[in-house]
Structure 1
């Protein structure tokens, strides 16, 4: 089988050595050739340096050409456009504020960009840089288990290799879903300056960037230096029609009950009447009249309705601003023809911002914040601003107060994330009889530290003092009585100074790594089959991480999402071995058959040892037809956050099955058993859920299987209509047992009401009013996750002619199954073709790219397709925006984006290339998502609404 075009099929099917070890070399090569071998960069998939086993597993490669054609400035954004990628965090997630803390203790990762393969989660993907593990992110709100790809400047990347196969036996525990190997630029002579500018058609979301690269290669040394700066501007939700309200097509019906005027649900102790009232707009001094028990009032109040809810969406961001600066260098020196020393270093800083609506102050038993100072508040009748004339006591007559102090401004979360990386090592070779063996030793240290400063939040302890007895307030320095009872403007600057702190959180992740590898040919098999190849190695890793929230948060005085410090460390010693056994060559059964065997033993300080094997077959049937199959077992050890993460909270949008008007009559007896009174209506869909790590977690176990073929038909090679045509088909299956995650909070609530089983209900508490005031949703080892599907790819290069040359690449992923089962057999809501919990698993995703080049001109047209999805309309079923109100389902129509680019290269210096492009040419809006928590669309699946983006790039080489 001849080597395909390196820009297409060669990288899509090629299999070679991982890590920073030498490329394939012939047994009889000269010392000069051996030196060049040591300089070569590898692709991903095996430890053995043998060209005969390439194509054994599916490896998709994103070349530098692909990166430039995308018009994107983030590695994460580039990878998330691959057809096999799943939902992952990116800068379109305005992820601070009410997102809170995920159960795995990783924090919200604000401003980061992650990668998900096969929809199995970013923490199950191993990210490497030049074959060496990259440090996990520190989100400033936890100890992350995923890699932030925004810590790696896109400008230093030569190519990105994505192994879409389980690979724990080769690379370690967190390679269950696959491996992303980022290869940096190295063989570079001269300099290069690249300028980028782009913005959305509405004039916002401006992206400006400048990259500088310089390198020098001599007979014995290689030096590369890179500097990159990217400034990504903001896009506000209020600037797009689709994202102007909490849920598109419903106005403020699903807005917050924490409003600028305030919502008050109280029971008058004198009359026994319960009121749900809010001050009239413009009335800053309402006076409660106990004789007015209806909604037609003249005392400055009126009954609260959905029309009074607060539109928090207009404060959100569609794209978060991010400024990233990185510097990278690497140097290689040939000590002798068979020995090379290298050193690498990187420093990267990211400054990013998230923004949420002004922070609401929820008080009373129905607040459900999990903070006893808020849920158990006491407001004195002596407070000079209390219009009710009686004490408001959470244990007696106060049900809920929701007041949003717009006077304090939006919540702003500013992140500063610093990443440092250094590595060094030796690579060499030696002769063993008539073969060459290769070895390398490597040491690396990397650290990711994040700091987050939060403006616009509140101190609940000071709020309680300001609402209490004025005499008690006067005894505390700085305390002033607080007015939350009037409209906007009634909270004075003096009051804000008392209740509004600046909150500062920090976290850090460190990785220390040492590895050694050996590879060579052991002996020749009988006949013409060739050599049995061998690789073995050792790796030591130490992980350290900590999270330190602001002292205010630790004391429990923070009005926002509470959390406690986290810290932990563990180390692992691993050994691996891999064999490639040629069965036959040039046989009547085919050109070649190879058996690949690999195994890794890992000894973790947290739980002990584990062995993971892998088996592979590669059958070269003819010169143009290759078949392959692999089976691998894997595991993923619990991360620091999953093991040691302390109590924290996230705020979920949940629908209480016991609430009117959604109560199923058949469930009414169960609701009464749970203490929910008749006629109960959930006042606030936002419910605080307590999470935390679990030191009793076991590792996840996984089994992965892939099979498929690569066909490059002879009749399409060198023909008048085709220079080359390649088909690649892969079937994959992943089965994870005991996956580490929490049961879906909505599923837990539904199962509690349906079954009354303590397994689900013990963590859910309700106030005397019936509302949920406690919700414990902890990490555990669930039952299983099973997924399978197909990748079908086509690559076609047409002959060059007078009209130029055309190349077509068409990549497709089909997900045929995804099942997540709880430990007690309960089915989780995620499945193919369904949108749930801000993420989707499309049944079909496709990317087709047509490239054209002619002399100095080049152009491309890319088409990205996402198949139709459905979702539960939830409470929006009463609105026409729910496309199937009878079944309570909404359809997210299939979406197709078109991207175009045109470039011209001038013969000036070593080349000046000017490029212009437009992504989402036809300004296609994403389908409306009713279940998504922010901005009315799924930010990990679709482009932003009103998302036509144009850009210019100038690239000068000298």
Structure 2
């Protein structure tokens, strides 16, 4: 939506740089002002056409120019800067192979990007495209519940409307925290082209972004088509100070903080023989004399082998066609294709073998013995895992970093195709005009992921077993895991290694029909209504590599999953104006909506919303609403089978430094009861990763919610009429949301502490230990938790001056205060207060305050804008580390020569101009900071050239 269009509608909307934030009123329909000659338009948050000055809900509106002013190539990155947003997956998240599948049933989502409002997770934020559901994304690693915003062609986006309140009664399941409505380009005249190049000051992370579109507008026909290409190169952890070791500030694996991996390049061998490694590597004939004690200096520093910014390539094409069938009926057809090629990377595969290996999920590696006849076994006896028919277990584990296999590399190829056809029109009922539309939409997201660097358990077992059996097997080569780095030959590797190929797919079929208009006229105005029906079918499947499905991989285990559902949903909305043009009541109206949804997998649910709007004077709007909502369990949450998440966490039961076993009698007693040896021999160092076994649950119930919203918008006419302002407004909103039966797995850190400190039987039963005290798995089956409660305040200020001899100026500010965020477990025994904290892996900060402010200036084709972004400090929940506040500054300069009629424009910009590093985080995964909240370290500069005709 352009600034001139906003003025025509009287909308308080931003033409400023992003950071202008929430707009009081809404954007225009896809075809612009001509589509609504009465002045009433369809607004996100209501299906009834209305005057946007009386918008009933708080909305952020970002148009093309606003998005362009950020210098960012992903719409998700732009949306995640809104203060009410709380992160989500993005290109700074590099989880594949590092942490595995988070305990939410949706897979790792590598390379995808999401939007999360109100810290309620992205699965509780509904994403629409042109008001219609969009196919959820996949990344070859599970069945996510969310839309991957990177699958929407970037230059197809005309604007994005973010409804910052629950709207289940209008839009159905998932709209608990809010709604993101991506409005696509529907009309354009002529050519638009753009080319941008950006890079970090350190000389990495190069980004190229090219787009082209062309539109034709005839008397009865609109046609627009376009395409784009974006390539983002990597930023590596080795090239930033914060991420060169597993912990911030660490300079060596011998530092007391620990964190380096016991899967060392030269191996770690723990058992009856002690804690040993090879003395000099490579050793092709290891003996007992060649072994020495394993020390902290032998541990492996995996940190510099990861990404801070993951490489990705996206390209796509799209078109939008509209034909007026007659004066009252339109046909609209839209289609889009998008390809995403992305990559994640991790350090060399850590091979853990033995009864204390902790692979979990019934892994063959956990029960693998190393035969005495293996020619590289230096101990001369079989290292027994204690399987039936063998002697008692006599070793704990053997860990070896497979450097010979190369780094673990995960490559995703994701194809997304969508299409929709709509018939819409209007007809008169008496003196009132009614509007109708019917849409059929289809979407498919098809992904596969290839993973190099993995090895097969069955072949490793054969290569470590009796040499006679290996020699009798074609291709088998006895494996040397004791000889240190370089001792695994290409022949050995060729036998045990394989390329893993995983696939996932989601399909969406959505059919909607809507009718709206005015019923009767009251003294205060007409009663408006909207009714509608939606039938939706969603199908999804995840098919890991057959070797992985058989439980034979050395990396993250996973099982196939598949499911489908259909829903039938009816809604109705009513607007009733009560009083108008009386003292202290310029206008007063009440609105309400109700929706009933019947899901084939979870049954029926009815939600409703009640809203009151009061304008005591023309310049002031007061509003309040109460809404109920629901979210049906996603296919991944219902049908996902066992997988693993490697959580960076500390075990209170260890006798090593930082543990409580030796110093706290209560902890010692509780840990012994949980299976820790009483002699204190379990002394694994802190700072490692613990195996959390994730799983869906077919008995899940739908989540329910209730939302309260109170707000005020002040936009004084006197400021505009006085001549010193063309725009002045202040908006404040208070929200209070409660989610019941919230679907999640209780935080594993909470389970560890509750078991060790409180002796909680429920928590202890979900922590499975080996005979030597090592954690083999922590159960994280999804369940319906009791509740999530959050409340806060949003505020937006906006000012724009008239044109003066020294230019036009604008000032805007947008802020969110998080007053409360509480998570209560189902048994009522655990209450977590998240406000002002950093959760840690999976990373999520809950700052009490976030704000953006923008000052911009324009004169004679020159433009300048400075945006400041502030995030208040947080404290890590698991260790009390204080992460300080951060202030980012972004600067942009532009020039569009008037002698070229501003058809050509040059833009220069620097994001993070003060070169602020993110605050260091010890409990976060990956790069030692929270990538869902903070910028990647380093200044990012860009140059863009645009042309239109």
Q: TM-score, normalised by structure 2?
A: 0.94
In the alignment, structure 1 residue 944 sits paired with structure 2 residue 949? no
Please name the residue that 1:847 is paired with: 852
Per mean C-alpha deviation after superposition, the further-off stretch among 679-688 and 199-208 is 679-688
1:148-547 to structure 2, matched below 5 A, reads: 148-250=148-250, 251-252=252-253, 253-268=258-273, 275-282=274-281, 284=283, 287-289=286-288, 299-370=289-360, 371-395=362-386, 396-525=393-522, 527=523, 529-547=524-542
Is residue 371–residue 383 contact of structure 2 (8 Å, CA) maintained in 1?
A: yes
Is residue 549–residue 559 contact of structure 2 (8 Å, CA) maintained in 1?
A: yes
SS in 2 for 1:717: helix
**Cα deviation code 1:321-368 (max 9, x no counterpart):** 000001110100111111100000000000000000001100112211
Shift of 1:686: 1.7
CA distance in 2, matches of 1:651, 1:682: 16
- Total equivalences in the alignment: 916
Is residue 22–residue 40 contact of structure 1 (8 Å, CA) maintained in 2?
A: no
Shift of 1:155: 1.4
CA distance in 2, matches of 1:621, 1:775: 57
1:502-901 to structure 2, matched below 5 A, reads: 502-525=499-522, 527=523, 529-660=524-655, 661=657, 662-663=659-660, 664-677=664-677, 678-679=679-680, 680-682=682-684, 685-719=688-722, 721-827=724-830, 829=832, 831-837=834-840, 838-872=843-877, 874=879, 889-901=880-892
CA distance in 2, matches of 1:91, 1:676: 40
Shift of 1:604: 0.6
For structure 2, list consecutive stretches of 5 or more residues without a partner in the other structure. 1-6, 387-392
CA distance in 2, matches of 1:924, 1:306: 33
CA distance in 2, matches of 1:465, 1:230: 46
SS in 2 for 1:783: strand
Per mean C-alpha deviation after superposition, the further-off stretch among 36-45 and 254-263 is 36-45
Is residue 22–residue 796 contact of structure 2 (8 Å, CA) maintained in 1?
A: no
Relative distance call for 1:21 and 1:439 in structure 2 (3 A) is: farther
CA distance in 2, matches of 1:367, 1:104: 24
CA distance in 2, matches of 1:626, 1:348: 42
Relative distance call for 1:483 and 1:8 in structure 2 (3 A) is: same
CA distance in 2, matches of 1:461, 1:763: 28
Please name the residue that 2:919 is paired with: 927
Shift of 1:15: 5.2
Is residue 23–residue 40 contact of structure 1 (8 Å, CA) maintained in 2?
A: no
Relative distance call for 1:656 and 1:345 in structure 2 (3 A) is: same
CA distance in 2, matches of 1:834, 1:637: 29
Per mean C-alpha deviation after superposition, the further-off stretch among 641-650 and 402-411 is 641-650
**Cα deviation code 1:225-265 (max 9, x no counterpart):** 11010001011110111111111123322111101100010
Q: TM-score, normalised by structure 1?
A: 0.93
1:88-107 to structure 2, matched below 5 A, reads: 88-107=88-107
Shift of 1:817: 0.2
Is residue 314–residue 341 contact of structure 2 (8 Å, CA) maintained in 1?
A: yes
Please name the residue that 2:903 is paired with: 911
Relative distance call for 1:372 and 1:52 in structure 2 (3 A) is: closer
Is residue 200–residue 950 contact of structure 1 (8 Å, CA) maintained in 2?
A: yes
Please name the residue that 2:389 is paired with: none
Give 1:3's match in structure 2, choosing from 4, 10, 14.
Answer: 10
Relative distance call for 1:40 and 1:955 in structure 2 (3 A) is: farther
SS in 2 for 1:99: coil
CA distance in 2, matches of 1:853, 1:581: 43
**Cα deviation code 1:905-949 (max 9, x no counterpart):** 13437600010100001111111111112111101111112x200
CA distance in 2, matches of 1:944, 1:11: 22
CA distance in 2, matches of 1:52, 1:158: 19
CA distance in 1, matches of 2:675, 2:13: 67
Please name the residue that 1:64 is paired with: 64
Relative distance call for 1:77 and 1:194 in structure 2 (3 A) is: same
SS in 1 for 2:396: strand
Is residue 10–residue 53 contact of structure 2 (8 Å, CA) maintained in 1?
A: no
Please name the residue that 1:124 is paired with: 124
SS in 2 for 1:466: helix
**Cα deviation code 1:364-383 (max 9, x no counterpart):** 12211014411111101111
Shift of 1:286: 7.3
Please name the residue that 2:4 is paired with: none
Shift of 1:873: 6.4
CA distance in 2, matches of 1:436, 1:287: 88
Shift of 1:303: 2.1
CA distance in 1, matches of 2:707, 2:32: 27
CA distance in 2, matches of 1:93, 1:118: 20
Shift of 1:851: 1.4
Shift of 1:764: 1.9
**Cα deviation code 1:809-833 (max 9, x no counterpart):** 1000000000011101133546111
Please name the residue that 2:390 is paired with: none
Is residue 23–residue 49 contact of structure 1 (8 Å, CA) maintained in 2?
A: no
1:39-54 to structure 2, matched below 5 A, reads: 42-51=42-51, 54=54
Per mean C-alpha deviation after superposition, the further-off stretch among 51-60 and 927-936 is 51-60
Per mean C-alpha deviation after superposition, the further-off stretch among 554-563 and 363-372 is 363-372
Relative distance call for 1:287 and 1:332 in structure 2 (3 A) is: closer
**Cα deviation code 1:605-636 (max 9, x no counterpart):** 11211110100011112111110111100000
Shift of 1:772: 1.2
CA distance in 1, matches of 2:548, 2:282: 35
**Cα deviation code 1:68-126 (max 9, x no counterpart):** 11000101100001111013010101120032122332110000010000000000011
Relative distance call for 1:74 and 1:41 in structure 2 (3 A) is: farther
Shift of 1:130: 0.9
Per mean C-alpha deviation after superposition, the further-off stretch among 677-686 and 804-813 is 677-686
For structure 1, list consecutive stretches of 5 or more residues without a partner in the other structure. 25-32, 269-274, 290-298, 875-888
CA distance in 1, matches of 2:943, 2:27: 37
Shift of 1:715: 4.2
Is residue 40–residue 50 contact of structure 2 (8 Å, CA) maintained in 1?
A: no
CA distance in 1, matches of 2:604, 2:56: 28
Is residue 167–residue 632 contact of structure 1 (8 Å, CA) maintained in 2?
A: yes
CA distance in 1, matches of 2:497, 2:38: 59
Relative distance call for 1:850 and 1:796 in structure 2 (3 A) is: same
CA distance in 1, matches of 2:851, 2:861: 30
